[in-house]
Copies of this chain bind each other. A is one copy, B any other.
């Protein structure tokens, strides 16, 4: 079996970790920031070192393509992102970029025969940390978002994404965009961002798709009164009601399929003063499962819950929803085959998080490879995947690309 170069992988992990180093083990590297520009320059430099030229498209997505031996064949692309959340870690996104670089470098340096052009790619602004929404540029390229609206997206300080794009110096030709005519497949390696692979002692996550999800807002309506002067029987306490609704929903939702995940992460209490009985509580309910039938059961539970808890009216509203994305079965099979050939332990799984790959899946055959996340942590500085685990994942990516190349 062909393998990549572990020292080179380590060097890349360490080098990219310096761009936006926050000083305590993690990075802050917002899209198109000075730190992200350094990461982009490093990408260009490393590709140039193996004779590969990088071009960009009109969203500053970057494409470095190693030519294949046969003319007029479609490209195979490996892609992820180099931007991070605030005080994020050294693996989310960037490990997929490092994978793309390492696979192209290995094929170029080792002169591994390949028929198709092979592209290493960076998607701009996956996190949406400064400029919402997340997965902005893959969304534009895949027709999910309108580019003009995205250019108007503003950072908290008031700069538009369009301005940041111009300042970055990375705007290229729209003709360079990833498209179904020129590209045959996309592969994205990513950290799992959850604890399953580590707990189940698996080296490779063979990703079958991205789970569908719903996001609801639930509100309880009480009556604001003085905490000292209102006897208990006269109260309508919206926070007590919210606690009751939460406990009710947990009890009901726990009866559904064990792969269902659901979360109340956000809660707003009004007026949120310790001497006033709350009159309004508003909280989120995020629920995810690959099977649309299970998501329907969640919605039924929400719709059938009592209209009144603790004398407070309860209302709900769907904020948004997204369907389950199924990755290309043939590509999923090639990832599985490659992992098996190396003798790596693996698990078929759905991604609970969103990725650029889910948009790309709507225009070309796409799949993903997961590697373990220590303690399941991500979007934080303790985010960690061992060099050995990264190396295994990158080898699977290399082998999968070469398998696709046979087609």
A378 to chain B, nearest CB (A): 6
Would you call B246 and A265 a contact (CB within 8 A)?
no
Would you call B272 and A269 a contact (CB within 8 A)?
no
Would you call A266 and B261 a contact (CB within 8 A)?
no
A373 to chain B, nearest CB (A): 8
Contact (A275, B267) CB under 8 Å given A195-B230, A229-B193 = no
Q: How far is the CA of A213 from the CA of B227 in the complex (A)?
A: 11
Q: How far is the CA of A198 from the CA of B277 in the complex (A)?
A: 19
Residues of B within 8 A of A265 (CB): 227, 239, 269, 271-278
Contact (A230, B376) CB under 8 Å given A239-B267, A265-B277 = yes
Q: Is the interface of A mostly helix, strand, loop or mixed?
A: loop
Number of copies: 2
Q: How far is the CA of A284 from the CA of B272 in the complex (A)?
A: 10
Q: How far is the CA of A172 from the CA of B336 in the complex (A)?
A: 86
Counting CB contacts under 8 A, is A244 at the interface?
A: yes
Contact (A378, B273) CB under 8 Å given A195-B234, A199-B234 = no
Q: List 24 A-B contacts (CB under 8 A).
A: A193-B226, A194-B225, A225-B376, A225-B377, A226-B353, A227-B261, A228-B286, A228-B353, A229-B352, A229-B353, A230-B376, A231-B259, A232-B254, A232-B258, A232-B260, A232-B262, A240-B246, A244-B247, A264-B278, A265-B272, A265-B278, A266-B274, A267-B267, A267-B272
User: Which 4 interchain pairs have the tightest Cβ spacing?
Assistant: A194-B229, A228-B352, A227-B263, A274-B284
